Amino acid sequence: KGLTVAITGHDTTGVAVCNQVRSFDIEERVRKGTARYVETLDTATISEIINRVISIIEPA
């Protein structure tokens, strides 16, 4: 399946790179002006990203 999930059909396009997960406080970054909220992805795309991240952390 690969390490990326295509993001299409939204204002945001490109890929989510699932082996480069970082944890940070998005709300705080938006407040500081170092990030901006664009949109929320559809449930199917989010689920695919989560499934691929889990498969990297816990391979079969």
| Domain ranges within the chain, ordered by starting residue | 4-57
Give the count of beta carbons closer than 10 Å to the beta carbon of residue 16: 19
Residue 48 burial (CB count, 10 A): 17
**Given phi > 0 = left and psi -120 to 50 = alpha, else beta, which region is 10?**
beta
pLDDT at 37: 87
Q: Is pLDDT of 22 > 70? A: yes
What's the confidence (pLDDT) of residue 50? 94
- What is the amino acid identity at position 25? D
Whether the Cβ atoms of residue 28 and residue 36 lie closer than 8 Å to each other = no
User: How high is the pLDDT of residue 53?
Assistant: 92
Q: Is the pTM of this model over 0.85?
A: no
Q: What is the pLDDT of residues 29-42, one digit of tens each?
A: 999 999 988 899 99
